Structure formats: structure tokens, C-alpha cells
Structure 1
Amino acid sequence: MLMIKHNKPYFLSSIFNKNIVNKNKKNTNKSNTSTTNKHPSTPARTRFAPSPTGFLHLGSLRTALYNYLLAKNTKGQFLLRLEDTDQVRVVSGAEENLYKCLDWLGLHNDEGSNNPPGNKPEIGSYKQSERRDIYAKYTTEIIDKGHAYKCFCSKERLENLLESSKKLKPKSSASYDRHCYHLTKEEIEAKEKNNEKYVVRLKSPDIYPEFEDLILGQINFQPRYNYDDKRFDDPVLMKSDGLPTYHFANVIDDHLMEITHVIRGEEWVPSTPKHKYLYQVMEWKEPKFIHLPLLAGSNDSKKLSKRRNDSNIWEMKKKGYLPEALINYVAIYGWNVPKNKQGNLVYSLEELINLFNINKLTKGNAKISPSLLEFLNKQHLLKMLKNEEEVEKVVEMIIQDEETPDFMKVDKNKIKKILLHVGDTLNNWKDFGKQFDYCFLKTDYNNENCINFKNNFDNNDIKNVINYTIDNSVLLLNEKNIIDLIKDGLNLEDKKIIFETLRYSLTGSKKGSALNDILRLLGNEEVLNRLKESLKYV
């Protein structure tokens, strides 16, 4: 394919992203600096239209989120459409995963294939595999208008054409010779009577129309031809199984569903001239196009794929990532989000809705940062722990989690108490079981950490700290400066022996919470019991 932008030609044979995103490298990560306001002033009607060929991942979540944000920011509607015409590649469970993930994330659609109350009967099904009659109607219409034709060519003939096109010099991105376009009406009828299979092809124009992308600007993307042996782009619109290809189905559906803005991945830029041409020949108003830059993994420059488990949303949920954190995380990549009053990028979904603006969407690939996700997850957990109702939600998450030990699940009040007092020491709520199991279990003073502790310190020093603490427990246990009091009382030079000894006695040398938090959690009676028990193992 040949793309002409700013009167300069670019070919798709090299790195795709470099060809379509701002050629001025110093601006590739900046938001749209055009003085023209691209943000709609009227309600936008957007759609998220995934194919069930894999589970929802970070890249597709960002596409869904931006469509959702634009619709909600403008008081419009957000639709969910299932593009399942490629039945061969449909993955079992992918559709259910999609609905489950979007519901968990709080991205609730107004209309869609999951049948919310807002569905419009006149639209019909929001699942493409159930819209055959609609596509058949428009297939007949576009053929009758002379802009498409039936192609009966065999697979073998098409493969031979493709191979021969590869040998052309100069090369051609098109391979079909338009053989079936020249069939007579009688020849077509005879083939149909003989039950020969066919596809329907678009009669492509000599030059596809330019289109405007609200992020990338004006784009002129053309096939590359060898004019000594002219081949034709002529993409398939309707397959032999009676289902349309993406090109035709998405144009028909976006028209009938009255979509005003199409927000999708940058990989669809080469297809957009075909879509614009289809709008023209069908005499329909086209939507505004917004193509998002690629979202690259942290270890390579490849775009995130739904077939790679590292970005699978449901798997990330199982790892303890909060929906608020994932929404916040993907929102940042591709949008110049302003910092809040606290000087960070921590935002709720409602806050993101209010802030969203097309003019602030950015150009250039975004390389994700796992450390940023960890930070956002921690911050959103802290926000939850400051709210009584949200704390109850975290408690339920811990109880319902299959990795939480059963001995913890029976004491809901203790879980809540721990979260209220020292929950802010957690980086991830999934760490609760490992970090606070000492609050529920009898301490094991022969574990590896305890053995290492006793090997590193003199036993008499350990005993002195424990005995002094027991003997002066009434004075010490409620004091925040307990370490300093023990240090002065024993005339010690170093505090480390005190810290390590008390951690050994109270938690079995488990790292994590601050010592004062541990004392407060266990309570004086339990602290004394553990101090006395730990002496037996020194």
C-alpha cells in the first residue's frame, strides 16, 4: 500500500507506525496541537466492536474505554457490538469473558450484544453473526448499484494470482485480475444454477478517497500497482458462507446504529479508505475516525495481543489488580492526562469522564510501564481503605478469593480490623494472606527466618530483650516509643536487636508491618503470650 501524507509518499512495506504517525519525531508523543476543536459539542454515539477471537486484554480495554469516555463525556451512548463473522477463529468462552470483564470494570454499555435494557428493536441483533439478512439486503443493493460483483474464482486460481503478483516488478499490493467482473449475466446465472460458490467483491476505485483522522490528520492511503500488469484491490465484502467481511459489516452496522465516532486501533488505518469509499457508494454519512497508537509491551515493541496472557484482563484481576487501577492505567497511554491537585495521575472513572477530550489524545506508540500499574493499584487500594463501605468490599474480596486460607475466612471482623489499622502497608490486597497470617496462626519459631535470626544474634541478648519487655509490659506495650524505652532500659547501643527480637517473638520474624502496628493488632494479652512462648525456642 502507498500512503501519501503532506504530499510525500510512504509505503506500508516498512514499519507501519512510522509511516502513519507524525513524521516529526519530536512531536510523536504530544497531544494534537491543532487550534481546531475536534471534541464534539453534541452527544457522541460510539461503539466497542471486538471479535471473540481471544480474551479482553489491555489494548482492547483502552479502545473500549476511550469509546466509553467520549460517549459519557458528551452525554451520548456507548454501544457494544460483537463482530463474530469469522466463525473459524472464534475462541470458546471469549464472548462470556468480554461481558464479564466489562461489567467488572464498570464499563456498562447502553446498547449491545449482552442485551441491556436500552437496546433498540429496529436495529436488530448487536451480534454480527445474527444479522445475515441485513447484510444480504445491502449486498444485493451494492451489486445493483454496480459497485460490487460476484466472484466464482477457485482458491487455486486466487493463490496462483497472488504468487504471480509477488513476482511483478515494480511490485503490486493488489493481486486480483478482475476476471469475474467481466462475466455476463447468463454466465453468472449458469454458475449459480450449478451451485458454484462465490464471494462478493467491491469494485475498487482507481483512487481511494482521502480521509481525515482526528488524531493523525489528513491521510491518503493507496494500493501500489504495476501498470504493465494491472491488478485490482477489489476486497471481498461477502464470503462464500454468507457472512460479510469486516470491511462491509462494520460500515453497514455503524450506519444503521448511527455511530458518530469510530475509535479503534491504528492497525485499521489501511482499511479506512475502503470504508470511506463504501460510505460514498452507499450514499451514507460517514462517522469521524480516530485511530489510536499502538500499545506496546514493556519488554518489546510489539503491540499487545489478546493471544498473549500477560495482558489478559481477567488474569490480571486474579493477580489482585483493581478495576479502578486498570481503567486509570490504560487511560494514560494515548491521552495527555493532566496531573491532579496532588501532582499525580490517580483518577476515578467519573473523573476521567469529566476530563476526557479528543484534543488531548496523543500520537506515537505508548510503551507500558508495569511499575506505574503497581503504583496506581496501591493508590486506589488506599482510597478504598479510607471509606467504610469500600473496606467492606475489600473484606469480601479477600474472603471470596480462592487463595485466601480457610482459617482466615472464618474471622471477617479480624480481617476488617487489620485492614482499618494497617491495610495501608499492603501493596496489593492479594498479599493479605501472606502478610498477616501471623495474626491468625500459632507462631512457628522454627521457620527459616527465625533460625537465621537466632544464628545472627547472641541468645542471651535475645532473652534479655524478651524478659525486659515482659517484666515491664504495663509501661511499655502502649507506648509508641517502645523501642527507645527498651534501649534505654537495657543500656543498649543498637536498636536492631530490639526490632528483630520483637518481630521474632510476635510474628515469627515475618517482614511487613511496622512494629507498632503489630502490637496494636495483636493486643497486649496476645503480645505477652507470644513473648513468653518465644522464650522456649531461644
Structure 2
Amino acid sequence: MVRTRIAPSPTGYPHIGTIYQVLFDYVYAKQHNGKFIMRLEDTDQARFVPGSEDVIYKSLEWFGLNPEESPKIGGPYKPYRQSERLPIYQKYAKELIEKKHAYYCFCTKERLDEMRKEQQAKKMNPMYDKHCRNLGQKEVNKNLENKIPFVIRMAVPENQTIILNDLIVGEVKFESKTIDDQVIIKADGYPTYHLAVVVDDHLMEITHIFRGREWLPSTPKHVLLYQFFEWKIPEHGHLPLILNSDGKGKLSKRFNHASVDYYHHLGYLPEAILNYLANLVWFHEGGKEIYDLNEFIKLFDIKKIGSQGARFDLQKLDWVNGIYIRNMKQETLNEKIMDFYKDKNLPKDIVLKTIPLIQERIKKLSDYLPLCEFFFKAPEKYEVDLANKKDFFKQVHQELEKVTDWKTGLIGESLINLAKKLEIKNSQFFMDMRVVITGKKISPPLNESMEILEKEECLRRLTID
């Protein structure tokens, strides 16, 4: 059975790049009737952020990318939290030592700092010099008996070519001489990422690993660990990077739009975001740009993933999101807007009436209230100075009082007739009317808006101080 996983760390809030990776994990598993699981990599206690684990769950739920096994719901391979698996890592680290594929390192911080300084002075790549790899067993035992602090390092073989056949990148070769003797157990007894991820993926029977291209340089260490343990290596697929909007470098966490919360708070639709993320690197066989998750699962072909990094373009995401909004049933959009603005206590019946006026105009849910706030409260200021228009609005007031059936067509007919009678150009006439009713020069259709506001409220707004 195909088994994929996401293994986030609770060291911050979810990044859009994490969702990008999860999307391919989830889709590949579902396409092959497999399972998508979540494991929590919480061994970096110094960077732990309280509450971030819960935010990870909520983000996955918001996107509908729910794992079938996780620390929250359990499963046959529990525990799914790395901090609860420490004895497992210790066991396998000792196995590597017994097989001479790892060794104890007793080097002090001062010695390592001095070593790096010398390497930098000689313009060498900073790598451990294997000093403790050559210690005799008696000296190792003595150090352990004396409780000298240590880490455990993997023993990278010399002069070996390490080959990875990547599902996306193709064949990649690494030379062992460029690979450091990586620490796999830290001085506090916790594993580093490299040991924990290999052990967990094997024990949890993960068959396919999708992750960002930036992780490719660390993969030969994992390949070696699989070889040391004589375990089958899962299939790897290193996804193209998501680049900053200028195309220079990986999408940085420093930018607001790298955070999942950014999209949630601005009213983007999760299904639109997933569609956009898929489009960044995958090409629909029919040339379509708009398709839902089920269609993506059905048609996904890993061979059609591009090899180049893709620029994250917020304007293109706005376009995709706008199409999803336009294609939505009015009742559904009404529910989405009500939920987005639930703290505003907007009247549901009024919001529903406004949907036909704004559905073609908004690109995200947060666009709604700036465009429609005048439906819920009279404008407190105007984008045009109306101080010398009092007499004009008094005449409009008198004319509209005569309209007995307050409908869009009759409102418009009455206003057009008055503009003609007063010999005012329609453009100027209706601009003034739009501003006095809505406060703005640009708004939803005026006559339809006035029908929704009802006669009494419109007449009240025509009386300006």
C-alpha cells in the first residue's frame, strides 16, 4: 500500500510551502488508494512554539487535507510524536555503532569552534575532521565511564558514489567525500532530523516521500542510513521550489503571504489556493487552469511536474480565487461571507440580496465589506465634497418621494427623468447620487443598491447636514 506523510515541526505557524508539499503527499496517496499520515517532529525543544501543533491541525482541516493517522487521532504505528519515541532512536543509534556505521564523538564546543576557524582560514568547507572516529575502544569506554558528554555521528564511507533515482529530478549522484559525518544523536539524547526521519519512515512503512527541492542535499545522508540498516529506500520526489514573487530565491517566511494565516484572514478560499499551488508546477492534460481537488487526484501524473521553480504570484492567485467566487452558488457565497464576518453580526437577508451585485466584482471574501459597508450603515464621510449640493439633493428627495413601488426600474426611471428636467448630465447626476448614498465614487449598481436599502433609508441619506 502507498503511504505518504507530512512531518511538520511545532516551531512556528504553517507556511504555504508546507501546504504545497502536503497537497502532493495527499493527492498521490488518494490516487493510489493509499494512506496519508501526519507525524510531528518535535525534537527541537528550544524552538518549540506553544499552540503551534493545534494550528497545524486546523490548517490541514481548513484545506481538507486530513491525515488518516496522526498524534491527534492515533493509528497502528503510534506514537506519532517524535518526543515520545526517544528510546526507539537510541536503540537504532546503538545498532549503527555496533555495525561501525556510527561512533561516539566527545569533542568539546571549543575544539569544534577552533576546527571551523582553521577550515575557514584555509577556505575549506566546514566539516567535522573525524577526530573521534579514530578513537580506540578502550578510550571510548573510559570516556563513557567518566560520563564525558558526547554526541553520536554517522560514519560516512570514503570514496563512495551515492545514487538517488528521484521521481521528479531523475538520477542524482553525490560523492561521499562532500558529506559530513552528521550528528544523529545530540548531547541531550534527542535525535537529529536525519536519524529520526529515516527510522520513523521505515517503521511507519512510508513508501513515498515528497518534499521541497531544498532538501535534496541532505538526501544522501538518508540514503546511507537506509543502506546501513539494510532497509528499502522509499521513493523520493523533490518538488520544485516556490520562489518569491520576484523569482529570486525560495518563498521566504519573512513575507506575510508565506503564512497560511495570511490567506485565511484575507478570505481566500482553500480550494482555490490548492488549485493555484497545483498549477505552479503541474500541467493539466486538457490545458485547464481551474479544477477541483478530486479532478486533480484523478488526473495527476508525476511525470508532468515541471523541473523549474515557480514564482508565487499573488495577482494570479487573486484571479483564481475570483473565478471560484464567481462560480459559487449565491447561497453558498452568502454562507461564506457570513462566516468570514461572523464577528460583525451582519443581517443574513441583506447580505444575500447584495450577492448578485458583487459576485462578479470581488476576488476574495475580505473585498466584500469595503464594497458593501454602506448597506449596513450610512456613510460618515464622502469621497466628493457635497457641501454645495444640498438644494440638488432636496429636489431628488422630492422626486423620489413620489415613487410608490420602490423597485430598481422605477427608481432609475425617476432619476433619469429628473436629470433631464434639471439639464444635468447623467454622468454627473449619478456620480453625486452614488456618493450621497454609498459615500464612494465606485460602488455596486446604484439603483439596485437603493432598492435593497429601501425608500425610507435612501430619503434619509439625501438629507445632508
TM-score by structure 1 length? 0.79
CA distance 1:468–1:135, shift in 2 (3 Å): same
Contact 2:330 2:355 in 1 (8 A): no
The match for 1:482 among 413, 425, 428 is: 413
For the residues of structure 2 that align with 1:305 and 1:113, how far apart are their CA atoms? 28
Q: Which amino acid aligns with 1:192?
A: L
For the residues of structure 1 that align with 2:262 and 2:241, how far apart are their CA atoms? 21
CA distance 1:289–1:536, shift in 2 (3 Å): closer
Q: 1:97 maps to what in 2?
A: 55
Please say if 1:514 is aligned against 2:441. Answer: no
Please say if 1:108 is aligned against 2:66. Answer: yes
Q: 1:395 maps to what in 2?
A: 338
Q: In the TM superposition, what is the alpha-carbon distance from 1:183 to its structure 2 partner?
A: 2.1
Contact 1:295 1:367 in 2 (8 A): yes
Most deviating of 235-244 and 494-503: 494-503
The match for 1:447 among 367, 375, 381 is: 381
Q: Which amino acid aligns with 1:533?
A: R
For the residues of structure 2 that align with 1:306 and 1:423, how far apart are their CA atoms? 32
Contact 1:480 1:516 in 2 (8 A): yes
Please say if 1:533 is aligned against 2:464. Answer: no
CA distance 1:496–1:420, shift in 2 (3 Å): closer
Q: 1:133 maps to what in 2?
A: 87
Most deviating of 43-52 and 502-511: 502-511
The match for 1:352 among 296, 310, 323 is: 296
For the residues of structure 2 that align with 1:98 and 1:307, how far apart are their CA atoms? 19
For the residues of structure 2 that align with 1:77 and 1:66, how far apart are their CA atoms? 12
Q: 1:74 maps to what in 2?
A: 32
Q: Which amino acid aligns with 2:150?
A: Y
Q: Which amino acid aligns with 2:381?
A: N
Please say if 1:319 is aligned against 2:271. Answer: no
Most deviating of 390-399 and 179-188: 390-399
The match for 1:124 among 53, 65, 78 is: 78
Q: Which string of whole-angstrom CA distances, capped at 9 and with x for unpartnered residues, describes residues 276-325 of structure 1? A: 11111211110111111221121461312345433111232112222222
SS in 2 for 1:192: helix
Q: 2:157 maps to what in 1?
A: 205
The match for 2:134 among 167, 182, 187 is: 182
Contact 1:505 1:530 in 2 (8 A): no
Please say if 1:44 is aligned against 2:2. Answer: yes
For the residues of structure 2 that align with 1:273 and 1:175, how far apart are their CA atoms? 16
Q: 1:59 maps to what in 2?
A: 17
Contact 2:416 2:426 in 1 (8 A): no
Contact 2:406 2:451 in 1 (8 A): no
Structure of greater relative contact order (alpha carbons < 8 Å, 6+ residues apart): 1
SS in 2 for 1:395: helix
How many residue pairs were aligned? 464
Q: In the TM superposition, what is the alpha-carbon distance from 1:362 to its structure 2 partner?
A: 0.9
Q: Which string of whole-angstrom CA distances, capped at 9 and with x for unpartnered residues, describes residues 401-424 of structure 1? A: x4x3xxx43x33322333356444
CA distance 1:398–1:419, shift in 2 (3 Å): farther
CA distance 1:79–1:306, shift in 2 (3 Å): farther
Q: In the TM superposition, what is the alpha-carbon distance from 1:109 to its structure 2 partner?
A: 0.4
Contact 1:466 1:502 in 2 (8 A): no
Please say if 1:148 is aligned against 2:122. Answer: no
Q: 1:162 maps to what in 2?
A: 116
Most deviating of 431-440 and 239-248: 431-440
Contact 2:390 2:464 in 1 (8 A): no
Contact 1:465 1:498 in 2 (8 A): no
Q: In the TM superposition, what is the alpha-carbon distance from 1:436 to its structure 2 partner?
A: 2.2
Q: Which string of whole-angstrom CA distances, capped at 9 and with x for unpartnered residues, describes residues 387-445 of structure 1? A: 5356334323322xx4x3xxx43x3332233335644433332233332232222x34x
Alignment of 1:420-439 (within 5 A): 422-439=358-375
Q: 2:430 maps to what in 1?
A: 499
Q: 2:175 maps to what in 1?
A: 222
The match for 1:263 among 210, 227, 234 is: 210
For the residues of structure 2 that align with 1:476 and 1:318, how far apart are their CA atoms? 36
CA distance 1:234–1:505, shift in 2 (3 Å): closer
Q: In the TM superposition, what is the alpha-carbon distance from 1:337 to its structure 2 partner?
A: 3.5
Q: In the TM superposition, what is the alpha-carbon distance from 1:129 to its structure 2 partner?
A: 1.4
For the residues of structure 2 that align with 1:351 and 1:252, how far apart are their CA atoms? 34
Q: Which amino acid aligns with 1:269?
A: L
Q: In the TM superposition, what is the alpha-carbon distance from 1:473 to its structure 2 partner?
A: 5.9
For the residues of structure 1 that align with 2:406 and 2:297, how far apart are their CA atoms? 54
The match for 2:180 among 227, 230, 233 is: 233
Please say if 1:191 is aligned against 2:143. Answer: yes
Contact 1:476 1:485 in 2 (8 A): no
Q: 1:297 maps to what in 2?
A: 244
For the residues of structure 2 that align with 1:448 and 1:475, how far apart are their CA atoms? 25
SS in 2 for 1:303: coil
State the identity as a percent. Answer: 36
Structure 1 gap segments, 5+ residues each: 1-42, 226-231
SS in 2 for 1:111: coil
Q: Which amino acid aligns with 1:215?
A: I
CA distance 1:174–1:328, shift in 2 (3 Å): same
Structure 2 gap segments, 5+ residues each: none
Q: In the TM superposition, what is the alpha-carbon distance from 1:471 to its structure 2 partner?
A: 3.8
For the residues of structure 1 that align with 2:410 and 2:208, how far apart are their CA atoms? 62
Q: Which amino acid aligns with 1:496?
A: S
Q: In the TM superposition, what is the alpha-carbon distance from 1:470 to its structure 2 partner?
A: 4.1
Contact 1:54 1:306 in 2 (8 A): no
SS in 1 for 2:162: coil
CA distance 1:488–1:440, shift in 2 (3 Å): closer
Q: Which amino acid aligns with 2:33?
A: K
For the residues of structure 2 that align with 1:218 and 1:252, how far apart are their CA atoms? 24
For the residues of structure 2 that align with 1:512 and 1:159, how far apart are their CA atoms? 64
For the residues of structure 1 that align with 2:418 and 2:294, how far apart are their CA atoms? 51
For the residues of structure 2 that align with 1:242 and 1:54, how far apart are their CA atoms? 23
Alignment of 1:338-417 (within 5 A): 338=285, 345-384=289-328, 386=329, 388-389=331-332, 391-399=334-342, 402=343, 404=344, 408-409=345-346, 411-417=347-353
SS in 2 for 1:52: coil
For the residues of structure 1 that align with 2:127 and 2:276, how far apart are their CA atoms? 43
Q: Which amino acid aligns with 1:498?
A: F
